[in-house]
Amino acid sequence: MDLLVLSAADVHAVLDYADCAEAMRRALIALASGRAQQPLRSVVRPDGAAGIVALMPAYLADGDGSYGLKALCITPGNPVAGLDTHQGIVLLSDGGSGVPVAILNASAVTEIRTAAVSVLATELLANPDASTLAVVGAGVQARAHIRALDQARPLTEVRVAGRDPASARALADTLDGHIRAPVRACDSVRAAVDRADIIVTATSSAEPVLQRDWLAPGTHINAVGACLPNARELDSATVAAGVLVADRRESVLAEAGDYLLAAADGVVGPDHIRAELGDLLLGSARGRRGADDITIFESLGLAVEDLAAAELAYRRARAAAGTGSSVEF
């Protein structure tokens, strides 16, 4: 049995944001149409451990079918050591036989597919002329979102802010001149998001980094960083004021601190989730209804997204001689 192993560098070599966004489009339509299946992720939070471990299985019926399983450790303290918070593997298996065909670096897959899904959400929810991007955070996802959104739409300016101004300046300096839009660091989150059309929150903060009174009418937010019930990046007033769209409704109701803590404050309930991205892609629901709406995409990440990204990377790696390492398994 031949098993292909794709490192982080291999994944980056074969998986680009634009094509991954199209793969995410197909996967989310398949999920909304019943051609893909996934349960809620299974999460273990060991007492005294530095992080958590999550298991995310999925099945995609398109083509000959395929199985995916992401095994992921999330360690909030990793950025201090220069590591991504997300570490693990994605296992891709043949849908007919169940034979494993590839193991991929989960950090790279997560990095690319998360930004690709935000590209879709921004396309569906932001105002058509939205061109000023503010990114809160200076880590892996902040960098990926800047690159992906700069490639996807004509941005006029990118602003970066975070709890460590030096990290924000370093990210801005690294990207400025290497993407189409000019990039600058801001000394505060409030300054970065002032009159921004598109905001990405990509932090490991457990407390809100964004406040309602900082937001201009019409702003679109991709809320990416908070993936635990007790952590949030948006204050309750922002969630209450926004048109809330989920990647998966049941995931938001079970896992999203942005929503759950606002619900605990009594300002929102389940009906506040207007739609899933798949509903918008199918045309069965509307997100933004007016130019002044504040729209929020609550991004938790789905197993079917990992599966679709892994499939695309696997096909391209097989077609590119010398990409990855094949082992007898």
Same domain, 167 and 278: yes
Same domain, 158 and 201: yes
pTM above 0.85, yes or no: yes
Residue 239 to residues 138, 236, 289, 304: CA-CA distances in angstroms?
A: 23, 5, 17, 26
Please report, for the domain that includes residue 272, its CATH number. 3.40.50.720
Could you tell me the residue range of the domain that residue 22 belongs to?
2-110+304-328
Please report, for the domain that includes residue 324, its CATH number. 3.30.1780.10
Q: Give the pLDDT of residue 99.
A: 96
Could you read off the pLDDT of 210-252 as tens digits, one per residue? 999 999 999 999 999 988 899 999 999 999 999 999 999 999 9
Q: Give the pLDDT of residue 83.
A: 83
CB atoms within 10 A of CB 194: 15
- What's the total number of domains in the chain? 2
The 3-class secondary structure across the chain, one letter per residue, is CEEEEECHHHHHHHCCHHHHHHHHHHHHHHHHHCCEECCCCEEECCCCCCCEEEEEEEEECCCCCEEEEEEEEECCCHHHHCCCCEEEEEEEEECCCCCEEEEEEHHHHHHHHHHHHHHHHHHHHCCCCCCEEEEECCCHHHHHHHHHHHHHCCCCEEEEECCCHHHHHHHHHHHCCCCCCCEEECCCHHHHHCCCCEEEECCCCCCCCECHHHCCCCCEEEECCCCCCCCCCECHHHHHHCEEEECCHHHHHHHCHHHHHHHHCCCCCHHHEEEEHHHHHHCCCCCCCCCCCCEEEECCCCHHHHHHHHHHHHHHHHHCCCCCEEEEC
Same domain, 39 and 127: no
Same domain, 44 and 176: no
Same domain, 169 and 66: no
Same domain, 227 and 151: yes
Could you read off the pLDDT of 263-284 as tens digits, one per residue? 999 999 999 999 999 999 999 9
Question: Is the CB of residue 89 less than 8 Å from the CB of residue 107?
Answer: no
Same domain, 120 and 266: yes
Same domain, 142 and 89: no
Same domain, 42 and 126: no
Contacts 24+ apart (CB under 8 A), 61-65: 61/30, 61/35, 61/36, 61/37, 61/95, 62/26, 62/30, 62/35, 62/36, 63/95, 64/94, 64/95, 64/96, 65/95, 65/96
Same domain, 134 and 172: yes
Q: Give the pLDDT of residue 80.
A: 81
Q: Give the pLDDT of residue 106.
A: 97
Q: With a cut of 50, which residues of the chain have pLDDT below it?
A: none
Same domain, 257 and 288: yes
Same domain, 99 and 222: no
